[in-house]
Amino acid sequence: MKTAISPTRSENYPQWYQEVISQADLAQLSAVRGCMIMTPWGYALWEMIYHTLDQQIKAYGHENIYCPLFVPLSDLEKEAEHIDGFAKECAVVTHTKLEKNGQGNLVPGSPLEEPLIIRPTSEMIIGELFSQRIQSHRDLPVLVNQWANIVRWEMRTRMFLRTTEFLWQEGHTAHATAEEAQAHTLQMLACYRRLCHDFLAIPVITGMKSINEKFPGAEETYTIEGIMQDGKVLQMGTSHFLGQTFAKSCDIQFQDAEKSLQYVHTTSWGVTTRLIGGLIMTHADDNGLICPPTLSPHQVVIIPLIKKNMDANQVYDYCEKIKSLLRTQRFRDLPIRVFIDMKDKKPSEKKWSWVKKGVPIRLEIGQREFENQTVCYSSRLSADHSKHTLGLADFAEQLSQQLDSIQRDIYMKAKSALSEANCPLLTSEDQLRSHFSSERPSPALIYWIDNDAVEQALQADYKVSIRCYPQTEVFDHSDQAPALFDPDKKGRLALIAKAY
């Protein structure tokens, strides 16, 4: 069967991924290496994520702020482990302006007294803010969030997965006690898990990162990891318990109820436009993107079918009638999002455009539908693009159930990646060697004790890493057992995989 995307997933997965982005018109490369222009459909997906997550974040009591794009180098240097972790990725501003040289070319002009770093993350900026605004235990907790752009000078880039500049949400909180900060770290991890499961229809594994994988400067890092269709794992969001590391670096102290000075305990947590990359690699097929109805900017697209020698206005008016009626229906407590494609293109071009964009339900409305007051519709999940006909009133009444069914089917198909067959427990080095020597190995589980030398060897030999210690309810295994590489000691159940 001919597909809209070539090569297919089985033929060349990396190129297939790029073609889905191109054919679905999600983004295109910019003039700056490693940067992308998010086109309307791609940015609309990010807006849907933004609005949904922003409501959830605010429901927990956080308030949005915005901090400067630039960080003085001296501020970043205050936390040694943090700057070491980001030093190779920092983009540096050294001059204030451009001037013309003797040949008439523009060159950097006045040097800055101190270099400025384009923020790779905002812990140090937020730390300065907290140190100025927190004086007493009555000021705590402080719960803030910002939606911003970040720059990290990446060597190997791929759109939505790893770009020099990307969009993200980053939350920062300060608390009086370690217990409260730790609880908040896990609360936001659970928030991200719900976003992926309920909104993006992406099942994820939540857990704590190993020592080598944790955020620079954090005491503990928690993660949500998704399993992509090629068997690789994608880190889709993180939540960090920072303890007092940044509080001491930025001198964030408060006077407690006994009038003693104490350092606060802080957290940070964030997700990025990488979620869209995860969406593609979890749900898309060889015809393009597949959008869960909760996420899709348009849940229903109406395509008018206009032929010669017919009254086009009758069809257009009927399409408007359909749109008005469907918008009175609700899916998960929100009005259904309906769009009429009025572009001057062939109906077949419109159809394939929306197939590749992944819109859940497509209607094709012509003279026959107008005369019979029916709709001809097709689901994006239909492998053969089969069409069905229903009376308009019946279709409107059933629409919410159809969208719910599509949402559920998308999620359940993706959830199969978490099965025991796709994530086996490896109990010997021979099993590990055999498993990860295959062409497209799935993730696996092992019992692990943090060991730098062994982890470096795994990365060198098999290009795999310890992704997290998963929450035990995800897999039917005990939390501890003899460690794979040190069986005399108890190891923790760990997810190991090739990763993006």
Sheet holding 111-118, edge to edge: 70-72, 111-118, 91-95
Per-residue model confidence as pLDDT tens digits over 58-117: 999 999 999 999 999 998 888 777 778 888 999 999 999 999 998 989 999 999 999 999
Predicted pLDDT at 312: 92
463 has a pLDDT exceeding 80: yes
Per-residue pLDDT, averaged over 375-379, amounts to 98
* Homologous superfamily of the 429-497 domain (CATH): C-terminal domain of ProRS (3.30.110.30)
Distance set, CA 237 to CA 383, 457, 468 (Å):
32, 26, 12
Q: Which of 192, 140, 175, 136 is nearest to 267 (CA)?
A: 175
User: Is the pLDDT confidence value at 447 over 90?
Assistant: yes
| pLDDT higher than threshold 80 for residue 379 | yes
Q: pLDDT > 90: what percent of the chain? A: 87
Tell me the two tokens of residue 311: 């009254």
Q: Are 147 and 178 in contact (CB under 8 A)?
A: no
- pLDDT surpasses 90 at 162: yes
pLDDT tens digits along 38-48: 999 999 999 99
- CATH code matching the domain that covers 300-405, chosen among 3.90.950.20, 3.40.50.800, 3.40.50.300, 1.10.230.10: 3.40.50.800
pLDDT tens digits along 339-349: 999 999 999 99
What integer is the mean pLDDT of 417-441? 89
User: What's the whole-number mean pLDDT along residues 179-207?
Assistant: 97
Say what the pLDDT of residue 388 is. Answer: 97
Q: Tell me, what's the pLDDT at 139?
A: 98
Every domain range in the chain assigned CATH 3.40.50.800: 300-405
In whole angstroms, give the CA distance from residue 257 to residue 265: 16
- The domain covering 13-283 belongs, at the CATH homologous superfamily level, to Bira Bifunctional Protein; Domain 2 (3.30.930.10)
b/e sequence 74-98, b meaning 16+ C-beta within 10 Å: ebbebbeebbebbeeebeeeeeeee
Quickly count: other Cβ atoms within 10 Å of residue 480's Cβ. Answer: 13
Q: Give this prediction's pTM.
A: 0.95
**Helix, strand, or coil (residue 117):** strand
Mean pLDDT of the chain: 95
Going by C-alpha positions, the residue among 359, 376, 358, 400 that lies closest to residue 322 is 376
Confidence at residue 439, expressed as pLDDT on a 0 to 100 scale:
87
> Are the C-beta atoms of 457 and 465 separated by less than 8 Å?
no
pLDDT digits (tens, 9 = 90+) for 119-128: 999 999 999 9
* Amino acid, res. 110: S
Domain(s) of CATH 3.30.110.30: residues in the chain: 429-497
Confidence band (pLDDT; 50, 70, 90) for 384?
confident
- How far is residue 175's CA from residue 181's CA, in Å, rounded to a whole number? 6
Q: How confident is the model at residue 472 (pLDDT cuts 50, 70, 90)?
A: low
Neighbouring C-alpha atoms within 13 Å toward the C-beta of 83: 15
Q: For residue 495, report the phi and psi dihedrals to the nearest 5 degrees.
A: -90, 125
Sheet of strand 338-340: strand arrangement: 338-340, 300-304, 361-365, 374-379, 388-391
3-state percent breakdown (helix, strand, coil) of the chain, nearest 5: 35, 30, 35
Predicted confidence at residue 302, as pLDDT, reads: 98
Average pLDDT, stretch 262-267? 98
Is the pLDDT reported for residue 421 higher than 80? no
Written as one letter, the residue type at 411 is: Y
